[in-house]
Amino acid sequence: MGNTRIPGINRYDAPAGGWGALRATAKAVVEQMRVAEAPGLLLRLNKPDGFDCPGCAWPDKDHTSTFQFCENGAKAVTWEATKKRVTPEFFAAHTVTELLTQSDYELENHGRLTHPMAYDAASDTYVPIAWDDAFARIGATLRGLASPDMAEFYTSGRASNEAAFLFNIFAREYGTNNFPDCSNMCHEATSVGLPQAIGVGKGTVSLDDFDHCELIIAIGHNPGTNHPRMMGTLHECARRGATIIVLNPLKERALERFADPQNPIEMMSFSATPIASTYHQPKVGGDSAALRGIMKAVLERADAGEDVLDRAFIAEHTHRFEPFAEELRQASWDEIVFASGLTRDAMTQIADAYVRSSATIITYGMGLTQHDRGTHNVQQAAALLMLRGNYGKPGAGICPLRGHSNVQGNRTVGITEKIDPVMFDNVEKVFGFRPPNVHGHDAVATMKAMAEGRAKVLICLGGNFSVALSDSDVSFKGMRNLDLAVHLATKLNRSHLLIGKDALILPVLGRTEFDVQAGGVQSITVEDSMSMVHASRGKLKPASEHLRSEPAIVAGMAMATLPESKVDWAGLIADYDAIRDKIEAVYPAFRDYNARIRKPGGFRLPLGPTERVWHTPSGKAEFITAAMPEDSALPAPDALMLTTLRSHDQYNTTIYGLDDRYRGVFGRRDVLFVNEDDLEALGVAHGDVVEVSTALRGEEHRCLRLTAVAHDIARGSVAAYYPEANNLCPLDHHDRQSGTPSYKSIPVRIVRAG
């Protein structure tokens, strides 16, 4: 790969994990925390009496395991438990205009927010405000809107079940279903696609299934960075001989080989375990075609008389198999090969491995969902599993890797813009009011309403909405159209600084900190990727005595906004058991909620497919066809397909550092990963600065300058970091069915910068 020396670009040849991971953890601790506190704090991660790791949503064995080492979990914790502070003095010394010139990395690295702050236009600074004055200002503004639908209630997936549920009840009693959330940008294709296919919008496997599976097909996720605790599981699966097939346009080191920092032999001998048995590199956006190819190959063997389908499962538990199979029989291999970027041979080999396995799990992440056909992609993965009855038996099922540590729980307790008649009936019974019967705004619809001046208030329960969303030009302008933005946050970010008329920053307690209310010390609860609900209790002294918990702030806003509220807000926040009682009353699946979270490990929410029960209109699992896209949806022939990625030193819009160790990038983020042959075809050299522009109809102007770097990535595909590349993705470039922005299939043109 290119011999030219480029500053900050060095091939990384070691396995993922290992000593490098230990060194990186030590560095994070030294930079952010008091060294003496860190070991004790990290030991409290994911223990029955400790707090849930804010890093990812991968479950822990019964939450009783001994300390599971995880570099990026440690970064998430030390970033929150930092000793750095953003005080009123800090704000007095920096105007908002000045702060806007700083990078996302610098903004958050100033430390934890300590006081409620309000924007003061005269001085262009944030100044302190008393909590009650902040609530009164929010209440007055919300009550003054011509319609409740001019307010938007955004949730980022770190919020607890308790906070998210109160937020749900507050906004609905106020009178709107406008619930944009980070899930709209993440697994919405799962939330929309899986219920149509298998009757539930969640994964169906538990951690135990990984002990029994024979084959894992891992599609479009990068666990070495984003689900690091999953590496322990994959490492175990690989060592006991389970087959792991990876579909990913980029060669990701942790999926190739991994040295487990908990394994003394691997550490002492500098050895590692190969993870992927075979690694296939489809082109970006090629997964649906690849999955169709695999299914076509399975069907060809079945049609030749081989016993490769679970015909009993298909007959008893599925619907529309015949038309689905017929469509695949008719599909042309040439088209599938072209659209997937894989050879027919490769797809046939995967099919062969699939029919050999009697228990298969498909795991997937953003590489499958963030496409203009994300919902179809997810449904093809679901269908592949149906062919051999891979639901409701040990070692089998579908496993979407959720993002934020409680994003799945937020959905379960009602963060959705969709009308949910069952929930609305129960809310009416429990609280005595009925939510409005109009569909609310998701993330993209919210930003459109903001950009067009139809939305005037945005309340953010965490997150960095305008930076996370596509189309930064439009999104940043949208923020500036608001009458009031309210940010419940731990750290300062760019969304706080894009001010319209008025803005408030309300500093919250983090997961790691203890939360004391009138009724004593409180626990919150979260749901992981595998539907396990458990308690989490912080252990640290709060970063400032002025912080409030998220439930308490939501209640404060509600009381100031709804003087006639039917909800006993003060009673609910005095003791969070009272909130959980209400959650249970609205969502009966939480039966005995308070009793069951007091047991170590918590409890699992019911999932139909694990019992082979299908909550679809037909009462069966549905085969849903994803025919090839129409020609008009295809990018121009000379375009390349851009995908956007997380680096190893990043948590979404939070940038911990500027390295992406496993991809060989150090101290910078302004790179474009390109296949060597594509570089040559473009007449661009490794290290050249290029201009990347969007190649969608009428979208030629969104230019970004990056340094082209030769990388092991599928031909025709290029990759850059999120959020820097977000402006290249137009707001209406999203999955038609789920609204998920197509962050991972943006057609682009590339030219050498003159």
Ligand X SMILES: Nc1nc2c(c(=O)[nH]1)N[C@H]1C(S)=C(S)[C@@H](COP(=O)(O)OP(=O)(O)OC[C@H]3O[C@@H](n4cnc5c(=O)[nH]c(N)nc54)[C@H](O)[C@@H]3O)O[C@H]1N2
| Residues making contact with ligand X (CB under 6 A) | 55-56, 72, 108, 156, 158, 182, 185-186, 219-222, 225-226, 247-250, 252, 282, 284-285, 287, 365-367, 370, 403-404, 461-465, 468, 488-491, 493, 508, 510-511, 550, 643-646, 650-654, 722-723, 725-726, 743-744
Q: Is 436 within 8 Å of 423 (Cβ atoms)?
A: no
Cβ 278 to Mo ion shortest distance, Å = 27
CB atoms within 10 A of CB 1: 12
24, 41, 164, 186: residue in contact with Mo ion (rule CB under 5 A): 186
**Region of residue 63 (left: phi > 0; alpha: psi -120 to 50; beta: else):** left
How far from 6 is each of 220, 395, 666, CA to CA, in Å? 28, 46, 11
Count of residues interacting with Mo ion (CB under 5 A) = 2
Contact between 510 and Mo ion per CB under 5 A: no
Binding partner of residue 114 among Mo ion, ligand X, none, CB cut-off 5 to 8 Å per kind: none
Could you give the angle at the alpha carbon of 698 between the alpha carbons of 696 and 701, nearest 5°?
85
Choice between 392 and 403, CB closer to Mo ion: 403
Choice between 404 and 661, CB closer to ligand X: 404
Cα(352)–Cα(298) distance, rounded to whole angstroms?
Answer: 8
DSSP H/E element including 705: strand 704-710
Cβ 284 to Mo ion shortest distance, Å = 18
Cβ 426 to ligand X shortest distance, Å = 26
Cα(600)–Cα(586) distance, rounded to whole angstroms?
Answer: 24
Cβ 404 to Mo ion shortest distance, Å = 6
In sequence order, which ranges of 331-432 are alpha helices (DSSP H)?
333-340, 344-356, 366-369, 374-387, 407-412, 421-431
Q: Is 260 within 8 Å of 266 (Cβ atoms)?
A: yes
Give the range of 207-215, 322-330, 403-411, 573-581 binding Mo ion by CB under 5 A: 403-411
Cβ 354 to ligand X shortest distance, Å = 16
Cβ 401 to ligand X shortest distance, Å = 6
Q: Is 539 within 8 Å of 512 (Cβ atoms)?
A: yes
Cβ 226 to Mo ion shortest distance, Å = 9
Cα(551)–Cα(532) distance, rounded to whole angstroms?
Answer: 21
Choice between 222 and 360, CB closer to Mo ion: 222
Choice between 357 and 644, CB closer to ligand X: 644
Choice between 24 and 621, CB closer to ligand X: 24
Q: Let me know if 693 is exposed, middle or buried by CB neighbors in 10 A (0-12, 13-18, 19+).
A: middle
Give the range of 53-61, 179-187, 226-234, 688-696 binding Mo ion by CB under 5 A: 179-187
199, 397, 403, 463: residue in contact with Mo ion (rule CB under 5 A): 403
Q: Let me know if 419 is exposed, middle or buried by CB neighbors in 10 A (0-12, 13-18, 19+).
A: middle
Q: Is 151 within 8 Å of 372 (Cβ atoms)?
A: no
3-state secondary structure 440-461: CCCHHHHHHHHHCCCCCEEEEE
Binding partner of residue 99 among Mo ion, ligand X, none, CB cut-off 5 to 8 Å per kind: none
Handedness of CA 259, 261, 262, 264 (dihedral sign): positive
Choice between 186 and 449, CB closer to Mo ion: 186
Choice between 325 and 748, CB closer to ligand X: 748
Cβ 166 to ligand X shortest distance, Å = 13
Give the range of 84-92, 279-287, 368-376, 397-405 binding Mo ion by CB under 5 A: 397-405
Choice between 309 and 720, CB closer to ligand X: 720
Q: Is 276 within 8 Å of 350 (Cβ atoms)?
A: no
Nearest residue to Mo ion on Cβ basis: 403
Choice between 6 and 219, CB closer to ligand X: 219
> Looking at this protein, which amino acid is placed at residue 397?
G
The structure tokens listed for 22 are 């230990």
Cβ 381 to ligand X shortest distance, Å = 10
Binding partner of residue 510 among ligand X, Mo ion, none, CB cut-off 5 to 8 Å per kind: ligand X
> What residues make contact with Mo ion under the rule CB under 5 A?
186, 403
